[in-house]
Amino acid sequence: MILKLLLLVISVVLLVEAKNEDYKGYRIYNVKFKTEEQQNGYNKLKSDIIDFIRRPSFGNNIVGKAVVPPSHFDFFEEQLEELAIPIDVAVEDLYEHLETVEKSRPRTTNDDPDREFDFDRYHRYEQILNHLHALQEAHENSTIRITVNEFDRTDEDRPIVYLTVSENSATTDKPVVIIEGGINPREWITVPAALNIVNSLTQNAASFLSRADWIIVPVLNPDGYEYTHTNLRLWTKNRSIKSNLGFICPGVNINRNFDVQWGVSDSSSSPCSHMYAGVEAFSEIETQLIKHLIEKYSGRIRLYLSLQNNGGFVSYPWQYERAASGMFRQHHLLGMDMVAAMNESYSLNVGWYALGDRASGTGADYAQMNGVVYSLNIDAVQRGDDGVNIPENEIVGVIEDIWRAVEVAVNDVLN
């Protein structure tokens, strides 16, 4: 009896894994396409097991980053050889690498509730929620109205919220701008980028709130976001357990779950894949929130921006097919202004080309298909050697650039 109890205790202890331990021995490979032909062979490098934390793009000159478990080193290197791509290991042990990243973070008191909210570090979801409620309260007597709206609760019982930022006026039919961050939870930079837009709006209310109502979703996937803080830094899905393999392989990739040629390209039907598209389109509340907003503000939405972090570009539809939308010319001109407004060098392209591949079920394509006039992605510049961990002391520079692009975009589309 006592022995059994002891065994139970030991197994429970063993089940509690330390952060990022799953990545022990994993490598990150650099993948650089030097020819269109190599780009066209991209599918050879993909599998459910291999996670491209950054996609290689010949068109946009982006060096891809592939996370590969030891069981697949041989497979991956053979595929690289077949495509005549040099084997280039960027990170030999991903676990060690993430430990180093963690240690290099300035030792701030991240959990100190009294510390003022700032943009010099990444915040946990609870701190972000507190910040949003404080913003709402701080403006209760002002001409600016900020409302934290709870849409629903996630699987792990966190509120999923969006902010409405508007003038305290009687006008109810202004154009609407929608901006979402954190659709891909490991792309932390998109969260302060979204929150900084709220700050900038309150500081420039006369020019921005008089012309539009704003909806900001700062963390579209809160469970996934928290999981990247507590368990696996590079998690990319939500924590859904709806599928038959859900308990072993939880999670749906939210940016593959929209109803745009759902499940066809760069998507997987395997729940264990990073690109798992869900049991059906809109199976997840995160995507349902965006659908709800697009329906609720139907006919008024002038601009939809999805903030992501895939290597320094602005892109516009389509991503699901190798074509541009009927709004190609307008999008391209708008994108040129946005890119010109940023200090960093950003490139501009149609989505499938910028990402080197088609992808079904994305939010930006869904918005474009459902009556939103301008729908774009802003993918933050590359920083750090894995392409995802943007150092905290560089947050401010990156998010200010993104605000400049938003500012220009709004001035263009509302004129």
Ligand X SMILES: *[C@H]1O[C@H](CO)[C@@H](O)[C@H](O)[C@H]1NC(C)=O
State the residues that interact with ligand X by CB under 6 A. Answer: 137-138, 140-141, 154-156, 223, 238-240, 242, 252, 283-286, 343, 397
- Side chain identity at residue 173, one-letter code: D
Write down the least CB distance from residue 279 to ligand X, Å. Answer: 8
What is the four-CA torsion angle of 269, 274, 280, 283, rounded to 10 degrees?
A: 160
Give which of 85, 84, 82 is closest to 66, Cα–Cα: 85
Between residues 138 and 206, which has the closer beta carbon with respect to ligand X?
138
Write down the least CB distance from residue 29 to ligand X, Å. Answer: 30
Write down the least CB distance from residue 290 to ligand X, Å. Answer: 13
State the Cα–Cα distance between residues 181 and 275, nearest whole angstrom. Answer: 19
Residue 3 neighbours by CB distance under 10 Å: 7
Between residues 55 and 239, which has the closer beta carbon with respect to ligand X?
239
Write down the least CB distance from residue 341 to ligand X, Å. Answer: 7
Between residues 79 and 253, which has the closer beta carbon with respect to ligand X?
253
Write down the least CB distance from residue 262 to ligand X, Å. Answer: 15
Between residues 97 and 383, which has the closer beta carbon with respect to ligand X?
383
Between residues 84 and 138, which has the closer beta carbon with respect to ligand X?
138
> Do 400 and 356 contact (CB within 8 A), yes or no?
no
> Do 316 and 330 contact (CB within 8 A), yes or no?
no
Between residues 63 and 144, which has the closer beta carbon with respect to ligand X?
144
Between residues 72 and 404, which has the closer beta carbon with respect to ligand X?
404
Write down the least CB distance from residue 285 to ligand X, Å. Answer: 4
Handedness of CA 243, 245, 251, 255 (dihedral sign): negative
Write down the least CB distance from residue 339 to ligand X, Å. Answer: 13
Between residues 240 and 370, which has the closer beta carbon with respect to ligand X?
240
Chain residue whose CB lies nearest ligand X: 240
Write down the least CB distance from residue 59 to ligand X, Å. Answer: 26
